[in-house]
Amino acid sequence: MTPTTLFVCSLCQFSAQERSRDGIAGGQYLINHLQQALAERDLQATVHLEPLRCMAGCQQPCNVSLAAPGKLTFILSGVSPENGATTVAEFCQQYTDSTNGRVPFSDRTPEIRRATAFVLPPLPTP
Ligand code: FES
């Protein structure tokens, strides 16, 4: 299976009014729950979770990107720190199961449809 990278901004806030909760930023909260959600789907060996410190989408927390060689890159914005882990993990499953990252729009959850900000083509290969 193609190794996949899930980038997640660890510094995103919970909302405009709530930067952090008990000292944990919304992005880190999402990361903590994503680790568990990926493990429940047995994806921890396939999907490398890579925390980043700001993805320049601070006005739309939380920000996430899913990428793999030869596949589309998805950039998701406005992922809920509290409820986003399960749906992002499900999307990771659909993405890793696909050959080129083209998860049909009709197969995506409403949360993923709503959060999809950009879809980029695979990088050209030499
Ligand atoms: S703090 Fe998350 S994108 Fe800037």
Taking only the tens place, the pLDDT of each residue in 16-45 is 899 999 999 999 999 999 999 999 999 999
pLDDT at 70: 95
Ligand 1 centroid to 39 CA: how many Å? 25
Q: Is residue 2's pLDDT more than 90?
A: no
Per the structure, how many domains does the chain have? 1
Instruction: Give me the residue label for tokens 């920000």.
Output: 63
Domain assignment present for residue 54? The answer is: yes
pLDDT tens, residue by residue, 42-100: 999 999 999 999 999 999 999 999 999 999 999 999 999 999 999 999 999 999 999 99
Domain assignment present for residue 59? The answer is: yes
Domain assignment present for residue 115? The answer is: yes
By C-alpha distance, which of 24, 23, 31, 22 is closest to 79?
A: 31
Domain assignment present for residue 126? The answer is: no
pLDDT at 126: 76
Provide the CATH number for the domain around residue 43. 3.40.30.10
Ligand 1 centroid to 28 CA: how many Å? 11
- Amino acid at position 112, single letter: I
Query: Quick check: CB of 54 below 6 Å from ligand 1?
Result: yes
Ligand 1 centroid to 54 CA: how many Å? 4
Ligand 1 centroid to 63 CA: how many Å? 7
pTM of the model: 0.95
pLDDT at 1: 72
Residue ranges making up the domain that contains 108: 4-120
Residue 122: pLDDT band by 50, 70, 90 thresholds? very high
Domain assignment present for residue 125? The answer is: no
| Ligand 1 probe mutation, 8, 9, 24, 53, most atoms within 8 A of CB | 9
Give CA separation, 45 vs 4, 17, 39, 56, in Å.
9, 36, 9, 28
pLDDT at 29: 98
Chain Cα centroid distance, residue 44: 14
Domain assignment present for residue 52? The answer is: yes
Positive or negative, the CA dihedral 64, 67, 72, 73 is: positive
Q: How far apart are CA 103 and CA 85, in angstroms?
A: 18
